[in-house]
Amino acid sequence: MPNRANDWLRQAERDLEQAQDSRQAARHEWACFASHQAAEKAVKALHLHLGQEAWGHAVARLLVDLPATAEASETLIEEGRVLDNFYIPARHPNSHSEGAPFEHYGPLQSEEAIHHAREILAFVHPQMA
């Protein structure tokens, strides 16, 4: 079976582009979710590149589970934790006590999410080069 790591990384890059487009369109909840997806797919790409399978959607856990040869910093893991907060609540109305998800996310959240996703992709890229 071929190694699909590059496919995962290319999709991560596209998801980050979607996050930026969503932010520009003031769809901040989608920018946050797409940022999470970009980071998740990038870290899964790195796992595949290193010959490992990775399951789940928690970016922080995926970073922690990398082998010592690709160890993520505590700062990067913390950025993953921030992104993990956007996986479900940014999409599901029952994740908040009231209001639709788009009412809970704005430019500050989407800017932070995109920044963290960029940092994670910047960590992954040189290890897969």
Question: Which of the residues in the chain have pLDDT under 70?
Answer: 1
CB 59 within 8 A of CB 120: yes
Contact status, residue 61 vs residue 71, Cβ threshold 8 Å: no
Task: Say which residue the tokens 């479900």 belong to.
Answer: 88
Domains of the chain, first to last = 5-128 (1.20.120.330)
- Model pLDDT, residue 3: 87
Residues 6+ apart with CB under 8 A from 92: 101
Tell me the average pLDDT of the chain: 97
pTM to 2 decimals? 0.97
- CB count within 10 Å of CB 78 equals 14
Residue 2: the pLDDT is 77
Of 125, 116, 129, 127, which is closest to residue 16 (Cα–Cα)? 116
pLDDT digits (tens, 9 = 90+) for 21-50: 999 999 999 999 999 999 999 999 999 999
Q: How high is the pLDDT of residue 114?
A: 98
The tokens of 103 are what? 């009412």
